[in-house]
Chain A
Amino acid sequence: MTFLRATFFRSLYAILLLIAVLVLNFSMMHMAPGDVADTIAQSMGGADPEIMAQIRADYGLDQPFLIQLATYVGKVLNFDLGFSFFYNQPVVSLILERLPATLLLVLGAQLLALTLGVVLGVISARNPNGMTSHLVTGLALFGYAAPVFWTGILCLIAFSLHLGWFPTSGMRDVTVAGGGWAKLLDIAHHAVLPIITLCSVYLALYSRLCRTAMLEVLGSDYVRTAKAKGLSARQVVYKHALKNAVSPVITLAGLQFSAVISGAVLVEAVYSWPGLGTLAFQSIIARDTPTILGILFFSALVVIVGNLLTDIALRLVDPRVGGKQ
């Protein structure tokens, strides 16, 4: 019961936080010089002040700030993120259209990094002076040091240009006909390099953290108790130790969710991946305010939902987290 109650209150806070983010985003965009009218006028090859005023009146840009803000927040709460003048379609459909590509990239990279990171962390913690341990340390150093776009370009040169194993850009190959498996395989083929590139950074973080947490837990009293019970080494490590060691990794993975979105911008740019990152990049260049605001709002939503899920996951793994007393 307390679990449901806690989740309810956490969700309530999340909604309040989301509204605060909305207000902040809108205010900041409002303070920035230039607006859509400028962009439209520019694309028309210039306009006189009268037409500019007309455009501003059409889009409600002549209203006082507070009224504009209230209209915006009200619309967003009705799942209306406005209309993109640059792409000539509603921002919501624009985002939803790009979302699957980014989700594939981000979730793929996160899952790969988490699985590999935990496995490598556990193996290297069980044998701190072994090969895997040195591999993890080396990998971590590389992952921390190498910027993700650089890794991406390096992968492109090696695996696409020289070896020709993977396509260089995009998500689909127009020459591949048919749907179903052929289409899925084609997407998977395109996704390999972007996912590995995005994964590299997080793999470094997770494997390193899991190794440290596991080393600490393996020396704890309750692991000694588990050994004294006559349990097998596998049970001691994977049942008793891992469930304790995985808490900090879950916390970090939740925190990284926001960074994964921002990291996706760079990876998507390198591989011309048609996701939210590319959309964000293009709409910033085009000063497409509704789209930028929409993406910012959506990122905030992802972070907040990510935190909420992290919270729930932690409660499920560790009964001491905010649980019953």
Chain B
Amino acid sequence: MDFRFSPEEEKFNQEVRDFFIAEEQTVKEARKEWDSGLGYGPACWEILKKIGARGWLCPTWPKEYGGLETSYMNRYIVMEQMHYFLNIYSTVGAGMAGPVILHHGDEEQKTRFLLPIARGEVEFALGYTEPQAGSDLAALSIKAEDKGDHFVIDGAKLFNTRVHYAQYHWLGARTAVTEPKHKGISLFIVDLKTPGITISPIWTVGGMRTNEVFYDNVKVPKNALVGEKNRGFYYILEALDYERISSVSALERGFQEVLEYVKKTGKNKDPLIRQKLAGLAIEIETARLFALRVAWMLNRDKVPNYEAAMLKMLVSETEQNFVNTTMQIFGPYGVIQKGSKWTQLSGEYERIYRDSLENLITRGTSEIMRNLIAQRGLGLPRR
């Protein structure tokens, strides 16, 4: 056992850190854009392109597709630092769509999409959720009809978060009515500028923009299909496992900030606060170890499944516990919104308190994660 980075990894970690420190101005702007809830703005694109130019967005990929052919641990290192500095730890293209294209896409798709993804020039928006298909993803019903030389897509998506600034929709659509339902789903890459697509915003309690997307007789070319027809659900699951990797570096940054606040305000003498913060420090450490375990497994070419679910659940619930504890420490001051002189830590936690709810739901709720741990990890029966 060894819980350290190797000397080479440590060196790379420092290199990545130095990069973000040198890009301080852009980093600051990018984080402001991201925290606004509107998604990528000019500074986000700028920093993503700079990260991409170094091959760091997809460092494990082949060089011909913009990667560095380096280890998974190095990707984890980049993720940690991105998360710490930007609150963004990966793009959807680099983390989910890209790996599936790499494994199941045809040559034309690889050439067309992988390099721009790796360079941070494009983003994909997940197109999974529908009004009747949330946790039960296989119930999705948006229809893609095979017209011989093209597909026609009809239907609606809900809570598709990045469609208002991404170039491509990573769309799960029904190509066959089957029993079981998941065997009739296919995966498409749709250019979001295609005629017939309408996007309308939905705002979350945390002030984040997500969207409804309507497809009205949208004609997409044959080569929009990824991999085999009707195998889409398997690709989606595969990509979900990639996506459930995570880091706790943003959480550690926040915790450090609250720790300093507590010391500065003399609240550190309160035994209750000491107990709570120590408990949180431990919980965060366990989440960090879970993140390292998943990264290590990927580094060893093992496929994490229940381990990834455990990580996803723990990180989002620990974040919840952290934000909640911070609000408790602030007491009545905590509910005052940005702008008042009475806010604590600029009132930022009033927003984060609302915004942190999303992570409990998105990418699979904690309850779905518990199902996965029980069924995949412990072998308990589904029925």
Q: Do A and B bind each other?
A: no
